[in-house]
């Protein structure tokens, strides 16, 4: 493919509530098509975007007709992670949810000469190790067979927002040249966006057609958890009763209870977040106090709900994070929220972090799109290739 005529338009598969769209739009891209199967997420998407009815198809990806997909410069896929994460059953790409990836590659293949020059996949860090690496190898080779050279990076949203959220990204680009060669040593590929596990994987799989590009380190975050919190009145229904709060404290280990006691004795309020986890067949409450929230999750059962603890001046209070706070942790500060608590938590917990996507688009996708047009941007250090 000669790459001529690449436009900064994209199709968003597994669109969810549209945070991938917001991140790409911040970097100058325009949506042409969006798809998801979840009605509740579509309702949130439609509330946020007035043009949703013009381009959003609510349907199973396996039922989509490739001929109806518009010709664009980029296709994105945040396919379900249920079968790839530690929280799931590790069924891999053959699992009921994550097998939707094959619906995405089918569409790309059936688009033929209209395939987007660029592809961006997003998933949990566990994708790298699912089935001992066999799943991601199979996925990357599948993209190779369709004509895409591939690259993988891992970025923690903590560099942008006060939320620890590590995600793996695969970038695919159509190239006409033959297979690349993995050179140097594994450490040659290691960087802030390619930790040791990714570097080792690249080096261990020379059969994959790689196209590795150098990227700078992501920026350092400038805000803390306290900066995104809403000021709720003391009688807000969000605050838990003393009995419920005391029970949460009783679920803490001696170490975590001691952390909370230090907070309680402080002269000013300080904040932490809590997740309930099963340890030795017992539900435990684990407290984090470094100014960073844990990874937002979809609220299934109750374990996915992140709890905020405010302590100081001899008091301890607890509540769930609000939908607005969850939006801010995803960089979606002004997202329109007109749904129930659980649906909002599910929508944000299953989405991408907007500033991460915007940064990746600015540093990687935009320069690559310009190179495809034959009018590349001036090559800054952040845009050099490090392997063929």
Which pLDDT value is given to residue 380? 39
Instruction: Say yes or no: 176 and 242 in one domain.
Output: no
DSSP string, 13-70: ES-TTSHHHHHHHHTT-EEEEEEES-HHHHHHHHHH-TTHHHHEEES-GGG--GGGSP
**Average per-residue pLDDT in the chain?**
88
- Note whether 177 and 245 are same-domain residues: no
In a domain, 346, yes or no: no
Q: Tell me: do 40 and 169 sit in the same domain.
A: yes
Given this model, what pLDDT does residue 381 score? 35
80 pLDDT tier (thresholds 50, 70, 90)? confident
Confidence of residue 137 (pLDDT cuts 50, 70, 90): very high
211 plus 235 within the same structural domain: no
pLDDT range class, residue 384, cuts 50, 70, 90: very low
Is the pLDDT at 46 greater than 50? The verdict is yes
**The pLDDT of residue 379 is above 50:** no
Question: Helix 39-48 and helix 341-349: axis angle, to 10°?
Answer: 90
Residue 332: inside a domain, yes or no? no
Question: Would you say residue 2 has pLDDT above 70?
Answer: no
Asked, for residue 339, whether it belongs to a domain, the answer is no
| Contact (CB, 8 A) for 345 and 299 | yes
Beta bridge partners of 350: none
The two tokens of residue 388 are 């063929």
- Reported as a single tens digit per residue, the pLDDT across 88-126 is 444 545 544 447 899 999 999 999 999 999 999 999 999
Q: Give yes or no for residue 68 having a pLDDT over 50.
A: yes
Can you list the alpha helix ranges (DSSP code H) found in the chain? 19-26, 39-48, 52-55, 100-111, 134-146, 196-204, 242-250, 254-264, 323-329, 341-349, 354-360, 366-373
Residue 261 forms part of a structural domain: yes
**Residues 126 and 36 both lie in one domain:** yes
Q: Which of 22, 363, 38 is nearest to 171 (CA)?
A: 363
Distance CA 121, CA 34 (A): 15
CA 168 to chain centre: 8
Of 84, 105, 104, which is closest to residue 93 (Cα–Cα)?
A: 84
| Residue 98 placed within a domain | yes
Which pLDDT score, from 0 to 100, does residue 385 have?
A: 41
Spatial contact of 55 and 343, defined as CB atoms under 8 Å apart: no
**Tokens 């005391």 found at:** 246
Domain count, the chain: 2
* Res. 293: pLDDT tops 80: yes
What's the first-to-final CA gap in the chain, in angstroms?
17
Q: Are residues 90 and 25 in the same domain?
A: yes
Residues 317 and 355 in one domain: no
More confident residue, 382 or 250: 250
Same domain, 208 and 238: no
- Domain assignment of residue 340, yes or no: no
Residue 54 has pLDDT above 50, yes or no: yes
Residue 100 and residue 193 in one domain: yes
Give the residue-averaged pLDDT of 177-197. 75
Taking residues 195-205, what's their average pLDDT? 94
Domain C-terminal end among 301, 321, 341:
321
Tokens found for residue 195:
């930790």
Q: Would you place residue 303 in the very low, low, confident or very high pLDDT band (cuts 50, 70, 90)?
A: low
**pLDDT value for 99:** 75
Supply 173's token pair. 């680009």
Mean pLDDT confidence for 291-310: 83
CATH of the domain at 135: 3.40.50.150
The reply to whether 226 falls in a domain is no
C-alpha 124/C-alpha 120 separation (Å) is 14
Is residue 87 scored above 50 in pLDDT?
A: no
Per cent of the chain over pLDDT 70 is: 86
Specify the pairing of strand 56-58 against strand 30-36.
parallel
CA atoms of 274 and 278, how far apart (whole Å) = 13
Is there a domain that residue 93 lies in?
Answer: yes
Range of the domain at 281: 231-321
Q: What is the pLDDT of residue 343?
A: 94
The neighbouring-strand residues paired with 58 are 36
Note whether 355 and 315 are same-domain residues.
no
In a shared domain, residues 198 and 91: yes
User: What's the rounded mean pLDDT across residues 79-95?
Assistant: 52
Q: Is the pTM of this model over 0.75?
A: yes
**Residue-level pLDDT at 23:** 98
Confidence of residue 180 (pLDDT cuts 50, 70, 90): low
Domain shared by 157 and 70, yes or no: yes
């Amino acid at each position: 493919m000669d790459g001529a005529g690449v436009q900064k338009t994209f199709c968003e598969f597994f669109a969810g509530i549209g945070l991938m769209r917001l991140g790409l739009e911040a970097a100058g891209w325009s949506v042409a098509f969006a798809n998801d199967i979840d009605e509740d997420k579509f309702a949130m998407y439609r509330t946020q975007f007035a043009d949703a009815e013009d381009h959003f198809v609510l349907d199973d990806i396996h039922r989509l007709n490739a001929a109806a997909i518009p010709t664009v410069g980029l296709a994105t896929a945040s396919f379900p992670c249920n079968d790839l994460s530690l929280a799931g059953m590790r069924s891999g790409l053959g699992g009921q949810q994550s097998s939707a990836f094959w619906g995405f590659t089918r569409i790309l293949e059936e688009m033929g000469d209209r395939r987007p020059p660029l592809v961006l996949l997003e998933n949990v860090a566990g994708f790298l190790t699912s089935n001992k690496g066999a799943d991601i190898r199979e996925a990357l080779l599948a993209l190779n067979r369709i004509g895409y050279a591939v690259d993988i990076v891992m970025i923690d949203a903590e560099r942008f927002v006060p939320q620890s959220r590590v995600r793996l990204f695969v970038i695919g680009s159509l190239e006409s040249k033959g297979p690349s060669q993995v050179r140097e040593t594994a450490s040659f590929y290691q960087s802030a966006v390619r930790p040791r596990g990714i570097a080792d994987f690249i080096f261990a799989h020379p059969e994959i057609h790689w196209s590795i590009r150098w990227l700078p380190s992501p920026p350092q975050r400038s805000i803390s958890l306290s900066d995104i919190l809403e000021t709720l009145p003391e009688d807000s229904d969000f605050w838990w009763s003393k009995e419920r709060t005391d029970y949460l404290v009783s679920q803490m280990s001696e170490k975590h209870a001691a952390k909370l006691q230090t907070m309680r004795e402080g002269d000013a309020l300080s904040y932490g977040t809590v997740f309930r986890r099963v340890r030795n067949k017992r539900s435990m409450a684990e407290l984090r106090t470094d100014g960073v929230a844990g990874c937002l999750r979809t609220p299934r059962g109750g374990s996915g709900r992140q709890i905020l603890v405010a302590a100081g001046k001899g008091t301890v209070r607890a509540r769930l994070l609000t939908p607005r706070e969850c939006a801010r942790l995803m960089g979606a500060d002004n997202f329109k929220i007109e749904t129930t608590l659980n649906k909002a938590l599910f929508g944000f917990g299953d989405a991408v972090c907007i500033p991460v996507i915007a940064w990746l688009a600015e540093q990687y996708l935009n320069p690559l799109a310009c190179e495809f047009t034959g009018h590349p941007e001036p090559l800054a250090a952040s845009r050099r290739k490090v392997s063929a």
